[in-house]
Amino acid sequence: MLWLIALPLGVALVYLAARYGRFRSWLEPVLSIAVALGLSAAFLIWLSESTPDEVPAPEPTRPATGLTAADIMLENLTFERNQSQRSYRVQGTVSNTSGFTLEYFRLTVTLEDCPKAPCEQIGDDTALILLRVPGGEARPFETFLTFPFRNGEAPTAPKWTYRVSEVRGAAAR
């Protein structure tokens, strides 16, 4: 797009320089200086782009894809009401059956009240468990969950359904 402006301007300058000698004597030094400045600027830009100022960052390593939710076993889960009526403390043991080190997992728990059939779903909550468990080992964990029911309407026969919804691991070291 710049050439649409430069082309007519260049033609006009050439016409005026050919037609008027006084204009030519003024135009030659101005154009010489402008060309020299333009070439200097282009050289400096080329020089700064060809030598990087900083060392490029290394490519991030991709996490090991071998760890799945099926490799994580939850055992001995207990749910006990906390000081708040809607909050529960969850304790248990997580076992890693893979050859990768578990870095964290998300535990999704659904609470239902089942005093009679059919059960009434109260809600679900997901907790992020930051726990490093090497492959083939088990570790205890503890977290807190909160469910949306009104004060005084706590479940009389709670039923807990849980699953591991996300895992993140790294290659064994």
Position 127 in a domain: yes
Verify that 165 and 94 share a domain, yes or no.
Answer: yes
Helix 21-50 with 2-19: angle, nearest 10 deg: 150
Position 57 in a domain: no
**At residue 72, does pLDDT exceed 80?**
yes
pLDDT single digits (tens) 130-150: 999 998 999 999 999 988 776
pTM (2 decimals)? 0.58
CATH number of the domain within which 92 lies: 2.60.40.10
Verify that 25 and 105 share a domain, yes or no.
Answer: no
How many CB atoms are located within 10 Å of the residue 15 CB? 11
**At residue 123, does pLDDT exceed 60?**
yes
Confidence bin at 151 (pLDDT 50/70/90): low
Verify that 6 and 37 share a domain, yes or no.
Answer: yes
pLDDT single digits (tens) 2-27: 678 877 877 888 888 888 888 888 88
Position 12 in a domain: yes
Verify that 73 and 143 share a domain, yes or no.
Answer: yes
How many CB atoms are located within 10 Å of the residue 56 CB? 6
Based on the structure, what is the number of domains in the chain? Answer: 2
d(CA 72, CA 166): 10
Verify that 42 and 86 share a domain, yes or no.
Answer: no
Verify that 77 and 150 share a domain, yes or no.
Answer: yes
Verify that 111 and 45 share a domain, yes or no.
Answer: no
Give 1-7's long-range contacts (Cβ < 8 A, gap of 24+): none
Residues spanned by the domain of 34:
2-50
Position 96 in a domain: yes
Verify that 155 and 108 share a domain, yes or no.
Answer: yes
**At residue 65, does pLDDT exceed 80?**
no
Verify that 137 and 90 share a domain, yes or no.
Answer: yes
> Do strands 138-146 and 120-133 pair parallel, antiparallel, or not at all (unpaired)?
unpaired
* Residue 96 burial (C-beta neighbours within 10 Å; 0-12, 13-18, 19+): buried
